[in-house]
Chain A
């Protein structure tokens, strides 16, 4: 029968070790964190050799639209500036979430058909509808065809406003990847500790920490999936406005239209024509 009361020495050792493990998985190290990411706690127990490598290539990463001057990465994930051997690698490819919005005037009565046309274009580009209202439609298209889709959509109406936003999530992506690797390493260590747990209390403490780390891993993996999807598919919103009918104000007292003067004609060399008219006719003297 195992001992139910752990020795004070063991509990104390676990209590010291777990925060350290938690700190290892909770944040990236100074060396690997993305610019702007919070540094790892100073008390981290991991050495440089234990630190996870930068993120591996991510399949399905989108190409940046050319109009945004972002280089096409052809699906490559962000890379470190230097390889393990210290050689300079290619510049990291940015991971950018593109969002486009088009406002356009369309003929009265053709709002629905214009929105249908926008959906058709999106589907032809490999995308799909993401939402629709009375006067707008939201479509998702592969980021690689974002620019071409925008160009095609601009032709289905009289564009009144156009906007494209690019949200660079490269730093966040790298940061999450590093944190994920660290957490996985932490989880492995906790699992090792579990096998060495001497009693139920120790087991309970370690298991609780394992659960926390696992939950955090799930959250990070979810966020990475979301970023991966956002960068591979771009959202374009098309908003339509029916052209207003020209309003012709009715004149309550319409003036009779004046007949335009005759076109320029030659003056015939006939002197008596000049004498025609009421003035000479009515002249009695």
Chain B
């Protein structure tokens, strides 16, 4: 009886550890980076354009509108200049909101995209950034495709 309980506990722990983190399909010219403390997924191309995915707990039970507004306010207060806003839908059918910003870093303009997707449990944030010079039309298209390939896991 004791051993059965132990096995059950171990299985539960194993299943919890195996819970899939959100991920996305990185473009072909991107290489996947090691998972860091804040990002569940990150990939970069040779020019330093980085795509990342975060997954945070929706502890405030906020809606998509709430979290997108919170992110936008935070970034604009930090000096980010919003240049575009749109809705983005993943291939799995989840709709989120996406903002595109420009920000000055070291005398250079940096492009920063952020998309937010909200479920009852999680707030998933997809980010992409890099020097504006490397955010050409082809790169933008590949990054856009990467956003749409998001899988929540």
Chain A residues within 8 Å of B, Cβ to Cβ: 258-259, 261-262, 265, 268, 270, 272-282, 284
Contact = CB atoms under 8 A, between A and B. Distances in A.
Most buried by A among B38, B48, B52, B82: B38
B82 A281 contact: no
B23 interface: no
Contact of A273 (B70, B105, B112, B129): B70
Interface residues of B, number: 34
Contact of A278 (B38, B70, B103): B103
Contact of A276 (B42, B81, B127): B127
A284 B33 CA distance: 8
B61 interface: no
A65 B101 CA distance: 72
A84 B12 CA distance: 134
A265 B77 contact: yes
Given A273-B71, A276-B114, A262 B50 contact: no
Nearest to B111: A278
23 contacts: A259-B82, A261-B77, A262-B76, A262-B77, A265-B77, A268-B60, A270-B56, A270-B59, A272-B38, A272-B54, A276-B74, A276-B125, A276-B127, A279-B105, A281-B39, A281-B50, A281-B112, A281-B127, A281-B128, A282-B48, A282-B50, A282-B130, A284-B44
Nearest to B71: A276
Interface in B61-120: 70-78, 80-82, 103, 105, 110, 112, 114
Contacts of B50: 281-282
A262 B73 contact: yes
A276 B60 contact: no
Contacts of B81: 258-259
Contacts of A270: 56, 59-60, 70
Contacts of B38: 272, 275, 280
Contacts of B42: 281
Given A272-B56, A282-B48, A284-B33, A277 B80 contact: yes
Contact of B75 (A258, A268, A277, A284): A277
A97 B150 CA distance: 94
A278 B109 CA distance: 11
A268 B74 CA distance: 9
Contact of A265 (B59, B73, B112, B129): B73
Nearest to B112: A278
